[in-house]
Amino acid sequence: MIYTAFLIKYAEIGIKGKNRYLFEDALVRQIKYALKKCEGAFMVHKAEGRIYVDVISGYDYDETVAALKTVFGISGICPVVYAEDRGFEQLTKDVFKYLDDVYPDKKKTFKVAARRSRKNYPMDSMTINRELGEVILDAYPEMRVDVHNPDILLNVEVREKIYLYSEIIPGPGGMPVGTNGKAMLLLSGGIDSPVAGYMIAKRGVKIDAVYFHAPPYTSERAKQKVVDLAKLVSRYAGPVYLHVVNFTDIQLYIYEKCPHEELTIIMRRYMMRIAERIAKETECLGLVTGESIGQVASQTMHSLAVTNEVCTLPVYRPLIGFDKQEIVELSEKINTYETSILPYEDCCTIFVAKHPVTKPNLKVICRHEENLAEKIEELVQTAMETKELMIVQE
- Which residues of this protein are in contact with Mg ion, per CB under 5 A? 188, 190, 346
Judge whether 5 and 53 are in contact, CB under 8 Å: yes
Q: Select 157 or 291, whichever has its Cβ closest to ligand ATP.
A: 291
Q: How far is the CB of 152 from Mg ion (least distance, A)?
A: 48
| Contacts with 114 (C-beta within 8 Å, 6 or more apart), sequence order | 125, 126, 128, 129, 132, 155, 156, 157, 158
170 forms bridges with which residues in the sheet?
76
Closest residue (Cβ) to ligand ATP? 190
What does the per-residue mask of binding to ligand ATP show for 243-282, with x meaning CB under 6 A? ----------------------------x-----------
Select from 153, 168, 296, 320 the one that contacts ligand ATP (CB under 6 A): 296
Query: From the list ligand ATP, Mg ion, none, which binds 187 (C-beta under 5 to 8 Å, kind-based)?
Result: ligand ATP
Task: Using CB under 6 A, count the residues that bind ligand ATP.
Answer: 20
Query: From the list ligand ATP, Mg ion, none, which binds 186 (C-beta under 5 to 8 Å, kind-based)?
Result: ligand ATP
**Binders of ligand ATP among 97-136, rule CB under 6 A?**
none
Q: How far is the CB of 66 from ligand ATP (least distance, A)?
A: 26
Q: Does 291 bind ligand ATP (CB under 6 A)?
A: yes
| Contacts with 315 (C-beta within 8 Å, 6 or more apart), sequence order | 272, 286, 287, 288, 289, 308
Give all strands (DSSP E) within 28-92, no chain letters: 41-47, 50-57, 76-83
Please tell me the distance from the alpha carbon of residue 302 to that of residue 273, in angstroms, as a whole number.
18
169 forms bridges with which residues in the sheet?
77
Please tell me the distance from the alpha carbon of residue 180 to that of residue 19, in angstroms, as a whole number.
12
Q: How far is the CB of 346 from Mg ion (least distance, A)?
A: 5
Query: From the list Mg ion, ligand ATP, none, which binds 303 (C-beta under 5 to 8 Å, kind-based)?
Result: none
Please tell me the distance from the alpha carbon of residue 194 to that of residue 337, in angstroms, as a whole number.
9
Q: Select 30 or 188, whichever has its Cβ closest to ligand ATP.
A: 188
Q: Does 157 bind ligand ATP (CB under 6 A)?
A: no
3-state secondary structure of 238: coil
Q: Select 262 or 346, whichever has its Cβ closest to Mg ion.
A: 346
Distances 173 to 27, 51, 177, 237, 238 between C-alpha atoms, Å:
12, 15, 11, 13, 16
Please tell me the distance from the alpha carbon of residue 232 to that of residue 240, in angstroms, as a whole number.
10
Say which amino acid occupies 351. Answer: F
Among candidates 201, 181, 182, which has minimal Cα distance to 278? Answer: 182
Distances 225 to 67, 185, 278 between C-alpha atoms, Å:
23, 16, 22
Kind plus residue range of the DSSP H or E element containing 7: strand 5-9
Query: From the list ligand ATP, Mg ion, none, which binds 211 (C-beta under 5 to 8 Å, kind-based)?
Result: ligand ATP
Query: From the list Mg ion, ligand ATP, none, which binds 248 (C-beta under 5 to 8 Å, kind-based)?
Result: none
Q: How far is the CB of 237 from ligand ATP (least distance, A)?
A: 15
Pairing of strands 152-158, 109-116: parallel
- The one segment of 93-101, 111-119, 277-285, 295-303 that binds ligand ATP by CB under 6 A: 295-303
Give all strands (DSSP E) within 171-248, no chain letters: 182-186, 206-213, 240-246
Query: From the list Mg ion, ligand ATP, none, which binds 67 (C-beta under 5 to 8 Å, kind-based)?
Result: none
**Binders of ligand ATP among 345-384, rule CB under 6 A?**
347-348
Q: How far is the CB of 378 from ligand ATP (least distance, A)?
A: 21
What does the per-residue mask of binding to ligand ATP show for 321-350, with x meaning CB under 6 A? --------------------------xx--
Q: Does 192 bind ligand ATP (CB under 6 A)?
A: yes
Say which amino acid occupies 164. Answer: L
- Interface with ligand ATP by CB under 6 A: which residues? 186-188, 190-193, 210-212, 271, 289-291, 295-296, 298-299, 347-348
